[in-house]
Amino acid sequence: MTGSLPRHIARVRMPLLVAGLALAFSTLFHDADWLGSIGMAVVLGMLVLFFVPLGQVRREPVGVHPPVAGRWMAVNSPADKTPSHGTHEFGQTYAVDLVHRPDDGSGWKAVRGAWPVARRPEAFPSFGRPILAPADAVVVRAVDGQRDHWSRDSWPGVIYLFLVEGVVRGLAAAFSPRFLLGNHVVLDLGDGVYAALAHLRRGSVRVRPGQRVAAGEPIAECGNSGNSSEPHLHFQLMDSPRAATSLGLPFAFAFRADGAEHYGVPKNMQVFTTATSTGASIKEHG
């Protein structure tokens, strides 16, 4: 694990960036130009630090139960690179996106062209699939009620998602993670490990804060809420229940791919099924 100072700096990068932007824009409403100068200095400093892997946690993976069941594909997998989503912010260093792939081969496609610009979430096989607790845990946060928006998987949709919606949601997430995660559940797995399961279907979250859940227990359904291009599960482990100031933690689970049993994380674009075993518990591999 990295040293204490880098970890502390990494935790406050996003809050400081938002504070700097607020100071910079404050000059539009106040005569104090020095506020804007300080704000821009903070913004520039934080943008530089965004590209420095401060605070990356290096440790043995935490063993968890697969958060899905059936045939799925990994996208943006930490098995190929870290940070898997291109940033260490919001505890995403080792995060993975999981997309349901039925036996008929339908499912995820990187970009579907320019038309249709967007499709209803119900058009995707991942939508409504059960999401499972990755370990015996206690619910820390359960957010529901946000709509499942139409897809952003066309070229116009992808451009809009990354250049407009994603930027706005990312900054707003410094105040509330729901802008980025959408409907989501955060679980306390014990020993300072927390799991976030995001982009859940509106109205499907069936757990409440303080509730105890068992590994493999259905807790919600896959949806398309928050910063999401199409229905999928975003799964990550963190060292804090607050995504905006957390550091990502590596994890591993049992799965089957290419005719063999594996323990780890499926590679990017690798189709897998949950292993015949019930999955490793956090007690065994934490």
Express each pLDDT in 244-273 by its tens digit.
888 899 999 999 999 999 999 999 999 999
Question: Contact, 248 vs 94, CB < 8 A?
Answer: yes
Amino acid residing at 213: V
Q: What is the pLDDT of residue 110?
A: 52
Q: What is the pLDDT of residue 225?
A: 96
Question: Contact, 65 vs 216, CB < 8 A?
Answer: yes
The mean of the pLDDT values for the chain is 81
Q: Which helix (H) or strand (E) holds 132?
A: strand 130-132
Work out the average pLDDT over 122-138: 96
Q: Give per-residue pLDDT as tens, 109-118.
A: 554 555 566 7
Question: Which of 43, 62, 66 has the alpha carbon at shortest distance from 131?
Answer: 66
Phi and psi at residue 281, to the nearest 5°: -90, 160
Q: Inform me whether the pLDDT recorded for 96 exceeds 50.
A: yes
Of 17-21, 56-60, 61-65, 259-263, which gets the smallest average pLDDT? Answer: 17-21
CA 41 to chain CA centroid, Å, is 29
- HSE-up of 55 (CA within 13 Å, CB side)? 26
| 115 Cβ contact list (under 8 Å, min separation 6) | 154
Residue written as token pair 């303080």: 210
Q: Give per-residue pLDDT as tens, 3-31.
A: 566 666 667 666 766 666 666 666 656 66
Phi and psi at residue 74, to the nearest 5°: -90, 135
Q: Inform me whether the pLDDT recorded for 160 exceeds 60.
A: no
CA–CA dist 249, 71 (Å, integer): 25
Q: Inform me whether the pLDDT recorded for 229 exceeds 90.
A: no
Q: What is the pLDDT of residue 194?
A: 98
Work out the average pLDDT over 178-204: 95
CA–CA dist 66, 245 (Å, integer): 25
80 CB burial (10 A radius; 0-12, 13-18, 19+): middle
pTM for the full predicted model: 0.79
Q: Inform me whether the pLDDT recorded for 282 exceeds 60.
A: no
Maximum mean pLDDT: which of 51-55, 214-218, 241-245: 214-218
Q: What is the pLDDT of residue 31?
A: 62
Share of the chain above pLDDT 90, in %: 49
Question: Which of 85, 68, 65 has the alpha carbon at shortest distance from 228?
Answer: 85
Question: Contact, 61 vs 79, CB < 8 A?
Answer: no
